[in-house]
Amino acid sequence: MKIIDFHTHPFYHETENVCFYKNTVLSPEDFKDTLRGFGVDKICGSVIERIDEATFEKIQQLNNSAITLKRMWGDFYEPGVHIHPYFVHNSIEELTRCRELGFKMVGELVPYFMDWEVYYNDAMHEIYEAIRDLGYKCVSIHTMQEESMDAAIEAFPDITFVAAHPNDKACFLRHLERMEKYDNYYLDLSGTGIFRFGLLKYGISRVGSERFLFGSDFPICNCNMYIAAVESEKISDKDKENVFYKNAERILDL
């Protein structure tokens, strides 16, 4: 079965390698070969790096790394562009530049990792307007500051938001409530949560398999464990196809 890992963090420079044990994933090609070995056909995601004091130059550098990896890997990689609410004008310029280069998604955005805080304020509203107007297919967001997530999703019903990480049961149930309320809200399975057997089956019973995307957060997490987690759930082959690749293909118009 085809697998699209919707949530990864590839790297070009060593400082962008977010694997906890950096002697495990040694290079961009090792990153790709490892995922290929797991049976992954295509990946999505942004290049990230811990930023204590944001500058526009650093944000642009991460986008430049994603551009380089896209040129190296072609159809294997769907890159996500970074924005930053401290630099609204520059962010819109980056969105325009990357859209012209064929980018289809924004993020994963990870505010706590990159020196910003909330998903919705005046600055972010202006940035979302540009995301919408430029025709980006989705925005991938790290689950945090959930009230600001709600505000962004409600303010922009014509933007598809894909949250990362089911997390603990209380958080997962809130994801499901949000999915029931907002048609433009989806969830990828990366991070904590999917190791709880039955989580995916329960979520599908509430909102359908069309609302979940396979994601691993590789190389932070072991992608092969997430593949096994989906394969072992007591759901239909059609549901597994939706989760593993069809939903990503539909959202990103692949």
Q: Give the chain's domains with CATH numbers.
A: 4-252 (3.20.20.140)
Q: In this predicted model, what pLDDT tens digit does every residue of 84-105 receive, in sequence order? A: 999 999 999 999 999 999 999 9
Query: Which pLDDT value is given to residue 51?
Result: 94
**pTM of the predicted model over 0.95:** yes
Q: Please report, in angstroms and rounded to a whole number, the separation of the first and last CA atoms in the chain.
A: 17
Give the model's pLDDT for residue 147.
Answer: 93
Find out whether 65 and 11 touch, Cβ atoms under 8 Å. yes
3-state SS of 139-204 is: EEEECCCHHHHHHHHHHCCCCCEEEECCCCHHHHHHHHHHHHHCCCEEEECCCCCCCCCCHHHHHH
Chain segment 38-82, per-residue pLDDT in tens: 999 999 999 999 999 999 999 999 999 999 999 999 999 999 999
pLDDT of residue 216: 98
CA distances from 14 to 19, 65, 145 (A): 10, 11, 29
CA pair distance 210, 243, nearest whole angstrom: 7
Model pLDDT, residue 105: 98
